[in-house]
Structure 1
Amino acid sequence: MKMDYNVSEDGYYGEFGGAYIPEILHANVEKLKAACRTYLDDEAFKKEFYGLLRDYVGRPSPLYYARRLSEKYGAKVYLKREDLNHTGAHKINNTIGQILLARRMGKTRIIAETGAGQHGVASATVCALMNMPCVVYMGETDIRRQRLNVQKMEMLGAEVRSVTSGNKTLKDATNEAIRDWCCHPEDTHYIIGSTVGPHPYPDMVARFQSVISEEIGRQLQEKEGRSYPDYLIACVGGGSNAAGTFYHYLNDERVKLVEAEAAGLGIDTDRSAATIHLGRKGIIHGARTLVMQTPDGQITEPYSISAGLDYPGIGPVHANLAARGRAEVFAVTDTQAVDAAFELTSLEGIIPALESAHALAVLGLKKFRPDEVVVITVSGRGDKDMETYIQLFQTRKTDKR
Structure 2
Amino acid sequence: MADVFRQEWGRITAALIHQTGDWDLAEECAQDAFAQALRRWPRDGVPNRPGAWLMTVARNAAIDRLRRSSTYRAKVEELAVMETRETGTDGREPDADDGAVPDERLRLIFTCCHPALAMEARVALTLRTLTGLSTAEIARAFLVPEATMAKRLTRAKHKIANARIPYRVPPADALPERVPGVLAVLYLVFNEGYSASAGENLIRRDLCDQAVALAQVLAELLPGEPEAKGLLALMLYQRSRQTARVNDRGDLVTLEEQDRGRWDQVQIGLARGHLEEALAARRPGQYQLQAAIAGCHAAAPTAQATDWPRIARLYQYLADMTGSPVIELNRAVAVAMADGPAAGLAILRRLEADDALAGYYLLPATRADFLRRLGRNEEAASAYEEAAALAGTGPERRFLNARLAEVRSQGQQRG
Normalized against structure 2, the TM-score is what?
Answer: 0.28
Larger fraction in helix: 2
Normalized against structure 1, the TM-score is what?
Answer: 0.28
Larger fraction in strand: 1
Larger radius of gyration: 2
